[in-house]
Chains A and B, each alone.
Chain A
Amino acid sequence: MTIVSGIHISLDKRQVLRREGIRQQSSVKPEIMALIDELLASTYDKHLLEPAIAYDVYAISEVGHDSVQLDNSTEIRSASLSSLISGGRELTVAVCTIGPKLEKQVTDYLGGREPLRGLLLDGIGSAAVDSLVQETCRLMQNEASLRGYQSSSPISPGIPGFPITEQWPLFQLVPSEEIGVRLAPSGIMVPRKSASMVIALGEQVTVRKQGEACARCNLSKTCHYRLVAK
């Protein structure tokens, strides 16, 4: 197992605006842009981001129609995963988080009747998790390269064909508690600004373009944060 911390996340306003559902920066009131600048600065000044990644790599022993068996006997039930890793030799299971501090600050703003600050800081947190997921994917690409493999696109419990209940076996496979992430009884991660994912490594694995990934998402019809337009 591997723990990676001390990761620097660099965010710009465009990433934050996308997380507020805004695509055209020019249309936003200057007061709101100034507040985003202020909150971005305070996010770094107050060290509200504590990014960390925990992951482990497992050999795949069998890929069924809707389940994947690892050679430590763990079974992950997911039709989406099965289709993603045909040709995969190994499976990386990763959990990443920005920690609890930013969420606490958001809660304080909302409770203190400052919902705009709460909303914008929440967007900064979401953008930070997006960046951390990208960083996790880069790490997995390195793991794949070391083995002479490619890495697949990531998928996460909660998407169609990958029930959120599969969080439980995944969390048995990765030392998430060492980066402060646990599962609530419903399978939601705490802190919420966290992400879990699996990525296949192999000679021929499935790499989906972002548009296809967006189209497969539960939120494809209503998502305000799409990376690729419909």
Chain B
Amino acid sequence: MSGELTKAIADLEENEALRLAREKLDSGEDPKSILEESRNGMEIIGNRFSDGTYFLPELIYSAEILKEITEIIKPALKEDAQAKTSGKCIIGTVAGDIHDIGKDIVVFMLDVNGFEVFDLGVDVPPQKFVDKIKETDAPIVGLSGFLTLAFDSMKETVEAIKAAGLRDKVKIMIGGGQIDEDIRKYAGADAYGQDAMKAVSLAKGWI
């Protein structure tokens, strides 16, 4: 049965994946290994997304399946294993911009990948990011923005973090419709992501 769960998730066979997860749990398998096998499926999904086999709906669908499996095995996990283990992230759409769906998808993908995510919402002033970094000690900040006007807000937010003496304590990623390397340099961020999977891989790489 080893690898079947990974394959079921990778092939987006929701009912089969949930059945296998329950079966493994009932047969006494370590819940952490069930979670591990499930996340291996997500790795395959990520590769298929990168090579254009899967699109955003499939990516989100797979994350929902992983979320369901996590809910199934959660009661069997020891308390310490229930805690988010990957790390802390602060995410928000920068001041002046009110687009939320891209940001919400990144939040969801980080969440199912084990990150503790602090979602600040949309139209977030720079100081709110600064305050949240101080409050949570999160080492990763994600700035989202769809419109060109967001570029200045991203730059101002990075500068506010720097002025607060926190720039060396956090890695900052930016994302949105028109973000590229030039915008990253302009904003003073550490990296940019063109999609939710890139945000997850960046965050994993920084932890």
Contact = CB atoms under 8 A, between A and B. Distances in A.
A217 B149 CA distance: 16
A89 interface: no
Interface stretch (A24-32, A52-60, A132-140, A204-212): A24-32
Interface stretch (A72-80, A91-99, A170-178, A180-188): A180-188
A9 interface: no
Interface string B28-70: 0000000000000000000000000101111011011001000
Interface string A178-206: 00000011111010100000000000000
Interface in A116-138: 116, 118-120, 122
Given A115-B105, A192-B99, A31 B61 contact: yes
Interface string B141-169: 00000011100000000000000000000
Contacts, number: 76
A124 to B, nearest CB: 12
Given A115-B104, A188-B147, A222 B194 contact: yes
B180 interface: yes
Contact of A20 (B55, B180, B194): B55
B57 A190 contact: no
B57 A22 contact: yes
B98 A184 contact: yes
A158 B123 CA distance: 18
A186 B145 CA distance: 12
A122 B53 CA distance: 22
**A186, A190, A219 — which one has the most chain B CB atoms within 10 A of its CB?**
A186
Given A20-B57, A218-B178, A115 B64 contact: yes
A155 interface: no
B100 interface: yes
Contacts of B63: 115
A118 B177 contact: no
B18 interface: no
B177 A158 contact: no
Given A20-B56, A21-B56, A116-B57, 17 more contacts: A20-B55, A20-B57, A107-B100, A113-B67, A115-B60, A115-B108, A116-B61, A119-B105, A122-B101, A164-B147, A187-B149, A188-B97, A188-B147, A190-B98, A192-B98, A222-B177, A222-B180
28 contacts: A21-B56, A22-B57, A27-B53, A28-B57, A28-B58, A29-B12, A31-B12, A32-B57, A110-B100, A110-B101, A110-B104, A113-B67, A114-B64, A115-B64, A115-B105, A116-B57, A116-B60, A116-B61, A118-B104, A119-B57, A120-B57, A158-B148, A164-B149, A186-B96, A188-B147, A190-B98, A219-B178, A222-B194
Interface of A: 20-22, 27-29, 31-32, 106-107, 110, 113-116, 118-120, 122, 158, 164, 184-188, 190, 192, 218-219, 221-222
Interface of B: 12, 14, 53, 55-58, 60-61, 63-64, 67, 96-101, 104-105, 108, 123, 147-149, 177-178, 180, 194
